[in-house]
């Protein structure tokens, strides 16, 4: 089945790119982010920046990069959380390198199984999520790491390492824990391994890991 957010994502950036020359939206959800903001950062109208990470060298070239998380100002059921990666240049400036719309679960106001959105497709996705608000995206040197529940008692962490050859981040390691409670001390590691099949972070799809 075609993923519900891909078509909307394409339309969003087609319309945004046409208007970007005349305006640049840099709306911030939190004022403390202003010190991390740069003139190269632009997002579509109606969206706001939620987080800026500028402490990590994501491409391992010796220069700090920026990872910007952004989303609609007024989120509705089924909305997407976006990340834009800006890589540092030798001049000290940044340039947009990649936009990702697949690192976090879709937004829903209420994730309870009994709560319905009125959209059959969204409801089928929502009922397969386990603790979606606890999913995490970590930006560290040369790597983007994703942690999420694949079931009510299983946590997975995927490590995507930057590949200069592929010019993106490639899945190089995966860890899985049995997690009967939310306390880390209760976790039992099931495996820590090199994946059988490599995957670009661009192709990551959480739905494939949760049985949807």
Q: Where are the domains of the chain?
A: 6-100, 120-208
Closest C-alpha to 181, from 146, 135, 145, 131: 131
Give per-10-residue mean pLDDT for the chain (212 aa): 51 50 86 95 97 96 97 98 96 95 97 92 95 97 98 97 97 98 95 96 97 84
3-state DSSP percent of the chain in helix, strand and coil, to 5: 20, 35, 45
Show the tokens assigned to 136: 């995490």
Provide the pLDDT for residue 211: 87
Tell me if 177 sits within 8 A of 117, measured CB to CB. Answer: no
């Amino acid at each position: 089945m075609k993923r519900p957010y891909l078509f909307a994502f394409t339309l969003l950036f087609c319309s945004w790119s046409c208007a970007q020359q005349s305006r640049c939206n840099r709306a911030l959800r939190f004022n403390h982010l202003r010190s991390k903001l740069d003139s190269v950062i632009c997002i579509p109208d109606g969206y706001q920046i939620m987080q800026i990470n500028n402490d990590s060298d994501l491409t391992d070239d010796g220069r700090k990069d920026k990872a910007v998380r952004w989303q609609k100002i007024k989120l509705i059921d089924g909305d997407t959380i976006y990340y834009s990666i800006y890589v540092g240049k030798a001049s000290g400036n940044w340039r947009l390198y990649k936009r990702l719309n697949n690192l976090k679960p879709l937004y829903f106001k209420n994730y309870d199984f009994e709560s319905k959105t009125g959209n059959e497709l969204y409801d089928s996705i929502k009922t397969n999520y386990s603790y979606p608000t606890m999913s995490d995206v970590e930006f560290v040197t040369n790597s983007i790491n994703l942690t999420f529940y694949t079931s009510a008692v299983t946590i997975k962490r995927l490590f995507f390492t930057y590949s200069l050859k592929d010019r993106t981040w490639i899945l190089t390691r995966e860890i899985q824990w049995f997690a009967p409670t939310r306390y880390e001390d209760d976790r039992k590691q099931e495996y820590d391994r090199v994946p059988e099949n490599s995957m670009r972070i661009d192709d990551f799809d959480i739905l494939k890991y949760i049985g949807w």
